[in-house]
Amino acid sequence: MGSRCSAAPIPNRRKPRLDNAAEVKRLLRQQAAVASFGSFALRQTDLQKVLTEAARVCAEGLSVKFCKVCQYRPDTEDLLIVAGCGWKTGVVGHVVSRADISSPQGRAFVTGEPSICNDLRGDRQFKLPSFYAEHGIVSTIDVLIKGVLRPFGVLEIDSDQQQTYDQQDVIFLTGFANVLAEAVATADRTAVLRTTIAQMKLLVEDKDRLLEQKKVLAEELQHRVRNNLQLIYGMLTRQLDETSDAGGQRGIKAIARRVSTLAQVYDHLLGAEMTRTTDFGTYVKSLCANLGEIQASPAKVTLTCDSDVVILDLDVVTALGIVVAELVTNSYDHAFPNGAGTIDVSVRRDPDNGAMATMIIKDDGQGFEVKTGSKRHGLGLVRRLAEQVRGTADVASSGGATWTITFPVAEVAA
């Protein structure tokens, strides 16, 4: 019996066993499977679950028993099966193949092209692991799962019955592989951010413990806090250099900006006195001056800041400081396409109710359309931070953007 193994795309043709109606139904089912899986992958944070579900849905979409995801391991230059569907115990997580042309998946990895084998029984060019014969595998398709710095690995469909795969099958698998590539990139970014958050939690724990010993440990606190923040910022900067997609870069830059804002909270606190409270008015003026220096450019954008004395708990200062940094940076980045304008920041205590204060951040730029539930332009983050300090955040966009954040000024012990 002849074999059909190719590393190049095959002609677009219908499978002879399907009539037109069945073919259309098959294609619609496959398109729906890709769309449904894409939604699942975006919601799921566990990469292993994403890979396992991809194997299951791919096998179901092509009406076969077996599917696997192979991850490239550069240290050993092989492909390890990290997820799969239909295999006996001992295959997933254990079986490897060389990352070269001696296997269907190796060839797809090396060439970057789909590897289609309709009948392995008459093929002598591959050195297949024993589990192929144990499961009676006859036909395979392999497609590359791309990555940022190098390919992640290979997605492979396996059948114990001879198949006649066509270009639509390759397109179906390639769609899944592209979703998996983005899921892998997201998982890598998430791992970095989780490490950052874990370090920040440790930092906060250090802060609380050392503040109780403020007079004795002031110098140690200052040293450790600043060093830890520098470490976190350095991690984010290195990750930014290794991230090529625009969405990932925006996310990492936003986290880095918030870390920098937190560092200023500590600088302001340590530069004054070691207490649980600080004057938010003085701090926000210092923060705006720093943001203006960071954004220094030929663009003629003027940033002004004025504030009453407002004594707040350190946690409230931190949250509101991030709000200021987010909105001022957003105005610099998006409000002035012609390169000129003004940004005003003000903090005022309510003259009729001293227990409340209002912060207004406005620009005279091009504004933006506010859509219900939108998370663009910082809407989601700003409102969450306002809720965190038991306040409210409203935005108006007419002749520019104006944010109004109202928050309580609680009596706090120094």
The pLDDT value recorded for residue 11 is: 45
Mean pLDDT, residues 128-154 = 89
Q: How confident is the model at residue 72 (pLDDT cuts 50, 70, 90)?
A: very high
Distance CA 309, CA 348 (A): 8
Q: Can you give the residue ranges of every domain in the chain? A: 5-183, 276-414
Mean pLDDT, residues 142-157 = 90
Mean pLDDT, residues 308-335 = 89
The pLDDT value recorded for residue 152 is: 92
Q: Which residue has the higher pLDDT, 359 or 31?
A: 359
CATH topology assigned to domain 276-414: Heat Shock Protein 90 (3.30.565)
* Residue 303 pLDDT > 80: yes
Distance CA 314, CA 207 (A): 11
Burial (CB < 10 A; 0-12, 13-18, 19+), residue 152, is buried
* Residue 410 pLDDT > 70: yes
Mean pLDDT, residues 180-207 = 83
Distance CA 237, CA 15 (A): 51
Distance CA 203, CA 3 (A): 62
CATH code for the part of the protein at 5-183:
3.30.450.40
The pLDDT value recorded for residue 1 is: 37
Distance CA 377, CA 328 (A): 11
Provide the 3-class DSSP secondary structure of residue 407: strand
Burial (CB < 10 A; 0-12, 13-18, 19+), residue 347, is buried
The residue among 205, 243, 189, 178 whose CA lies nearest residue 35 is: 178
Residues in CB range of 243: below 8 A, 6 or more apart: 148, 189, 249, 252
pTM: 0.46
- How many other CB atoms are there within 10 angstroms of residue 273's CB atom? 11
| pLDDT-above-90 percentage for the chain | 28
**Residues 167/169/172/177 CA torsion (nearest 10 deg):** -90
What's the Cα-to-Cα distance from 294 to each of 289, 290, 303, 325, 391, rounded to whole Å? 9, 6, 12, 11, 28
Give the end-to-end CA distance of the chain in Å, rounded to a whole number: 86
The answer to whether 5-183 and 276-414 have equal CATH topology is no
The pLDDT value recorded for residue 142 is: 92
Distance CA 16, CA 387 (A): 61
Distance CA 356, CA 48 (A): 48
